[in-house]
Amino acid sequence: MKGKFLILSVFLQASIFALNLSNLNEIRIEHVKELLGKNYGRSVASVDVNHKDIKGLVSETVSKTLPKKYKYKASMITNAIIAEAIKYELDPVFLSAVIMNESSFNPSAKGTSGEIGLMQILPSTGKWMAKKIKMKWRGKRTLQNPVQNNQAGSCLY
């Protein structure tokens, strides 16, 4: 009986995730329109409006830009970006763009002022973010973890 319940639970979670992904494109379009205003129609963002597979688009971006030694983390990072986008109703392409701009998808990137990881978060800010989202703070190690760095950074937007 426990096995059937576990399978049903996993199926329900996957269905909820799929529903959330289907709404993500609508959220994405509204977010971009809000940010760009009257310039939306002339923007590159409007060209990709009908892209149905947002996760595929993010996955492709992550896979292409992630440094070789981190390629094995591509799926994990993609899932983290999508999960945080759903959680905070953000455009996952926007989150990917922030990561690309801040660290070029290098999980071990270090900034000149002490910023760490994908989203280039200062440890003092990271500590505050971790508290805000109830994440266990383990010092700089928390920000060196690409999933936790993404979780902390996404809560700002």
Give per-residue pLDDT as tens, 20-40: 656 666 776 777 788 777 877
Confirm if 24 and 54 have CB atoms less than 8 A apart.
Answer: yes
What the block records as the tokens of 153 is 């950074």
DSSP code, position 137: P
Residue 61 confidence (pLDDT) above 60: yes
Total domains in the chain come to: 1
Confirm if 94 and 25 have CB atoms less than 8 A apart.
Answer: no
Per-residue model confidence (pLDDT) at position 90: 85
Find the CATH number of the domain harbouring 115: 1.10.530
The residue range of the domain holding 124 is 2-154
For residue 13, the SS3 value is: helix
Per-residue model confidence (pLDDT) at position 34: 81
Confidence (pTM): 0.70
